[in-house]
Amino acid sequence: MQLITLDEFIAVNQEKHKDATGELSGLLRDIVLACKIVHRDLSKAGLVDTILGDAEKTNVQGEEVKKLDEFANEILKKCLQNSGECCGIASEEEEDIVCFENRKDAKYVVLFDPLDGSSNIDCVAPVGTIFSVYERISKAGEKCTLEDFLQRGDKQAAAGYVIYGSSTVMVYTTGQGVNGFTLDPSIGEFCLSHPEMKTPEDAKTYSLNQGNYNSFPDDVKDFISHCMEGTTRKPFSLRYIGSMVADFHRNLLKGGIYLYPSTSDSKTGKLRLMYECNPLAFLQEQAGGKATNGAQRILEIQPQKLHQRTPVYIGSKNLVEMLQEKVSQ
């Protein structure tokens, strides 16, 4: 495969959009720069105790903040403030939106989970940065507003993630399909490695925390029984890494379904709508799969709160439809 860097790919794709002004391309480049810096520091996490381990803090979710969470959050904020294309951000690690006073004319807002699955860092399991980009709806020249961020997922201008695993891969969409790029550390460039990604419509892999089984809704229990049914055929394989980006990436490539239903601890589900479920749902639909909260498309949910959670069922088209049939019965 000819070596095509992410920069070259963005430039070529920008030319396909006649009205493209280069602002979104510039924004994507700045997000990628931040993730390259996160990658650099993650790879030495085990050695540098100043960034490993708990930050003795909890975030707005009441979850323990690992120092790398904070580090990734600061890096993304800095790169986006310097970007010039972003007038403000929202983050899992920030209680409220952060408006960039010196960027009131910028066109985009970005929401992100700086390091999803960070509880896995100490055990060297994959973690990821997830991002979601919207055009602002407030007037240029003024501070961004909460309404700029609380837009439905089907209004996203771009979405993607970077997974830091056995290799570091960036996957994104601007609504024209999904493409993946693998970081070549020897040249410091993401290179096209997964062109035009499509999720197989059928698969035999399901991904969820089965430990919560007793608190799942009955229709989800029925679906799990179907997956485990081994009399008439081979049962499905259960694969669950505890890092949504990693489970999502495997299913995106090979097919499968990721489920995080409501549970007794998380009545409205655990995963966040704005900076986890919406960006991954945009990618999943662009790759031919589906994403629902059991009642409606994730991308059609009208957000009410920045950090709101939602049940999520996302992956291969036929598996999500099978689940929806059970949920709607």
Q: Which of residues 187-206 bind ligand P6P (CB under 6 A)?
A: none
Q: How far is the CB of 238 from ligand P6P (least distance, A)?
A: 12
Token couple for 83: 């970007």
- The structure tokens 């069922």 sit at 313
**Of residues 36, 67, 77, 270, which one binds ligand P6P by CB under 6 A?**
270
| Chain-centre distance for alpha carbon 75 | 17
Q: How far is the CB of 94 from ligand P6P (least distance, A)?
A: 16
| Chain-centre distance for alpha carbon 84 | 23
> Measuring CA to CA, which residue among 129, 173, 128 is closest to residue 153?
173
Q: How far is the CB of 32 from ligand P6P (least distance, A)?
A: 21
- Quick one: 79 or 245, whose CB is closer to ligand P6P? 245
Report the sign of the C-alpha dihedral through residues 192, 198, 199, 202, in that order.
negative
- Quick one: 51 or 245, whose CB is closer to ligand P6P? 245
Residue 31: HSE in the Cβ half-sphere, 13 Å Cα cutoff: 31
Q: How far is the CB of 271 from ligand P6P (least distance, A)?
A: 6
**Binding marks (x or -) toward ligand P6P, 19..38, rule CB under 6 A?**
--------------------
How many residues bind ligand P6P (CB under 6 A)? The answer is 9
Q: How far is the CB of 286 from ligand P6P (least distance, A)?
A: 21
Q: Alpha helix locations (H) across 152-269? A: 218-228, 244-254
Q: How far is the CB of 288 from ligand P6P (least distance, A)?
A: 22
> Measuring CA to CA, which residue among 139, 132, 166, 149 is closest to residue 249?
166
Ramachandran angles phi, psi of 54, nearest 5°: -75, 145
Cross-strand bridge partners of residue 112: 91, 131
- Quick one: 117 or 289, whose CB is closer to ligand P6P? 117
**What are all long-range contacts of 60-66, with beta carbons under 8 Å and residues at least 24 apart?**
60/92, 60/93, 60/94, 60/95, 60/307, 61/92, 61/307, 64/119, 65/93, 66/115, 66/118, 66/119, 66/121
Q: How far is the CB of 162 from ligand P6P (least distance, A)?
A: 14
- Quick one: 39 or 78, whose CB is closer to ligand P6P? 39
**Binding marks (x or -) toward ligand P6P, 101..140, rule CB under 6 A?**
---------------xx-x---------------------
CB distance 93 to 122 below 8 Å: no
Element of type H or E holding 32: helix 23-42
- 209 sits near ligand P6P (criterion: CB under 6 A): yes
CB distance 283 to 251 below 8 Å: no
- Quick one: 27 or 283, whose CB is closer to ligand P6P? 283
**Binding marks (x or -) toward ligand P6P, 224..253, rule CB under 6 A?**
------------------xxx---------
- Quick one: 155 or 267, whose CB is closer to ligand P6P? 267
Q: Give me the residues that bind ligand P6P (CB under 6 A), please.
A: 116-117, 119, 209, 242-244, 270-271
